[in-house]
Amino acid sequence: MFQTEVQEIDIYNKPAKKATLSGQTSILIEDVAEVVAANNVAKKVLKMKLMDINQDGEHKKSYLVSVTDIIKTIQKSYPDYTVNNVGEMDTLVQHKVAQSPDKPWLKWLRVAFVALVLFIGSATAIMSFHTDGQMPKIFETYYRLFYGTEVKNPLIISIPYSIGVAIGIIVFYNHFMGKKVTDDPTPIEVEMELYENDVTETVVEVLNQRKKQKQEAENGSS
């Protein structure tokens, strides 16, 4: 008796949650997913086209690529292969119209404006907090308790406190002079990542609803 081994030919597909393209006329599989397969198969799969991009002059346009779109595209050329999804179910593709780069002086002007706004806003927030918390009076009370005399704005307490606030800000934001103190993500990076995830999920849901409505309208008309 002879035993025959049947070996499945697999293609592993790992779509990303979000992809950003610029100046392209179509979306390829390599733009939205990683593919693991036999070397010659993977190269062909990565170059397969999923959809065209409308060149209507919009600065930014969003497209939704479902994992089913990727699987259907692959199976048209490789019907005998098993396509396995190991990534996201939906990929948000944002296409930006290619634009000429900004002039260096304009870029630095924007950076200076943002830095000025952040500096004024942070200083206002800290001073407002100290005013509401009556920090000057607390410092005066500490000085009276330790030294037994009344002094307005005791610098021996105010200066170390100000230095401590600066060190605390540096440690909290994990940045100093444009460099990270540690390799951990900063609170701003964490919040921006959470914000980006929320925006991506919301846009994906909206595009899914539009896609379903379009399919229902097409089915109703047929």
Segment 15-59, tens digit of pLDDT? 999 888 887 888 899 999 999 988 888 899 999 999 888 766 555
Report the relative pairing of strands 26-28 and 49-52 from DSSP bridges: antiparallel
Domain annotation covers residue 123: yes
The two structure tokens encoding residue 107:
């870029």
Domain annotation covers residue 5: no
Opening angle at CA 160, ends 157 and 166, nearest 5: 135
Strands (E), 55-195: 60-66, 82-85, 90-96, 175-176, 179-180
Domain tally, the chain: 2
What pLDDT score does 74 carry? 92
Domain annotation covers residue 218: no
State the residue range of the domain holding 189: 104-198
What pLDDT score does 212 carry? 80
Q: Which residue, 74, 96, 118, sits at the end of a domain?
A: 96
Helix (H) or strand (E) holding 50: strand 49-52
Domain annotation covers residue 221: no
Are 173 and 122 in the same domain? Answer: yes
187-221 vs 155-173: helix axis angle to the nearest 10?
40
Q: Average of pLDDT values for 121-139?
A: 78
Where does residue 178 rank: exposed (0-12), middle (13-18), buried (19+ CB within 10 A)? exposed
DSSP code of 15?
E
Are 34 and 71 in the same domain? Answer: yes
pLDDT band at residue 94 using 50, 70 and 90 as cut-offs: confident
pLDDT band at residue 6 using 50, 70 and 90 as cut-offs: very low
- The answer to whether the pTM exceeds 0.85 is no
Domain annotation covers residue 153: yes
104-132 vs 135-147: helix axis angle to the nearest 10?
60
